[in-house]
Amino acid sequence: MSHVRTAILLLALGLFGLAGWALRPEITQAPPGLTLGEQMPARVGEWLQQPNALDQIAATATNLSMEQPYDEVVTRTYQNPRGEVIMLTLAYGRNQRQEVKIHRPELCYPSQGFKVKQLEHATFEGVRSQATGETISGKRMVAAGNSFDEIVSYWIRIGGTYSESAWQTRWTIFREGMNGRMTDGILVRASQRLNPGADPDASYRLQQQFLQQLVASMQPSAQSLLVR
């Protein structure tokens, strides 16, 4: 029975993709003329931006494709007075389509040689949807590298939806396309590198606080890119 469900799901995803390609809506919901990199604060609560961002996993390109779906990727490194470091990545795409959409970290990290050790649902207290007022949701992840574990907290916004699965992303894009809209999307990701096997809970709490302060510290126009 599970094979039947899998076949039906794959068929539905394929149909969504074909429908999205055929519709190709031209009305975009992305705000015009806003450069995300210029909106980033140098201070986030007690955190100060460092002059050189650490190397981070993020797709970048000038031409959009299935592999490179972003119009803008911003990477920053912040440090607090206790010497703790958080890496921030914001990956923004103006026009989300079935064949060009935000990449999920649990898929990107393995392609860079990491092994996903933990992946779970997360809610980001104090960060609320502008549309519904509800606390937004995303994922927490531990990815094991050769010499360190990377502890990751992230959310993906597609239009006004916070996507936790590829299925939900495709459905949102399909639904918006049926209404003649092409929506934008963003990956908001905070991460830290710890010794292998370190307890991730303290990092999750720290990242939660940082992301809440990040949204609060930004101008409303830039906030609307991160949270809608």
Residue 55: pLDDT above 80? no
d(CA 40, CA 54): 16
The mean pLDDT of 194-204, rounded to a whole number, is: 95
Q: Are strands 181-182 and 27-28 parallel, antiparallel or unpaired?
A: parallel
The mean pLDDT of 30-52, rounded to a whole number, is: 84
Hey, where are the domains in the chain?
Answer: 2-226
56: pLDDT confidence band, cut at 50, 70 and 90? confident
The candidate with the shortest Cα–Cα distance to 170, out of 11, 5, 2, is: 11
Handedness of CA 43, 183, 101, 33 (dihedral sign): negative
46: pLDDT confidence band, cut at 50, 70 and 90? very high
Residue 35: pLDDT above 70? yes
**Tell me: the pLDDT tens digits for 114-164?**
999 999 999 999 999 988 899 999 999 999 999 999 999 999 998 888 887
31: pLDDT confidence band, cut at 50, 70 and 90? low
Return the minimum-mean-pLDDT range out of 10-14, 45-49, 200-204.
10-14
Q: What's the pLDDT score for residue 159?
A: 82
Share of the chain above pLDDT 70, in %: 69
The mean pLDDT of 31-45, rounded to a whole number, is: 83
The mean pLDDT of 39-57, rounded to a whole number, is: 86
Tell me which of 61 and 44 has the higher pLDDT. Answer: 44
Query: If you search the block for the tokens 């050790």, which residue do you land on?
Result: 117
**Tell me: the pLDDT tens digits for 205-226?**
999 999 999 999 998 888 989 9
Q: Does the global pTM surpass 0.75? A: yes
Q: What's the pLDDT score for residue 151?
A: 98
Residue 63: pLDDT above 90? no
For the ranges 19-33, 66-80, 190-204, the one whose mean pLDDT is highest: 190-204
**Tell me: the pLDDT tens digits for 66-90?**
455 688 899 999 999 999 999 999 9
Long-range contacts, 200-209 (Cβ 8 Å, 24+): 200/118, 200/140, 200/142, 200/149, 200/151, 203/151, 204/122, 204/140, 204/151, 204/153, 206/84, 206/86, 207/86, 207/151, 207/153, 208/124, 208/125, 208/153, 209/45
Tell me which of 157 and 13 has the higher pLDDT. Answer: 157
